[in-house]
């Protein structure tokens, strides 16, 4: 929820970091 409330810049960085970590975990799991 905070991502939507945060500015585009912060939202982008936050989503990017979260997605990046999730992607890395998925890649590692695979």
Question: Domain limits of the chain?
Answer: 1-29
pLDDT tens sequence across 13-29: 666 677 777 888 888 88
pLDDT at residue number 21:
78
CA of residue 18 relative to chain centroid, distance: 2
| Confidence grade of residue 12 (pLDDT, cut at 50, 70, 90) | low
pLDDT at residue number 17:
72
Query: What 3-state DSSP class applies to 11?
Result: helix
Residues contacting 4, CB < 8 A, separation 6+: 11
The CA-to-CA distance between both ends of the chain, in Å, stands at 29
pLDDT at residue number 22:
81
| Confidence grade of residue 3 (pLDDT, cut at 50, 70, 90) | low
């Amino acid at each position: 929820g905070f991502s939507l409330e945060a500015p585009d810049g912060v939202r982008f960085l936050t989503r990017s970091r979260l997605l990046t970590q999730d992607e890395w975990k998925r890649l590692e799991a695979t």
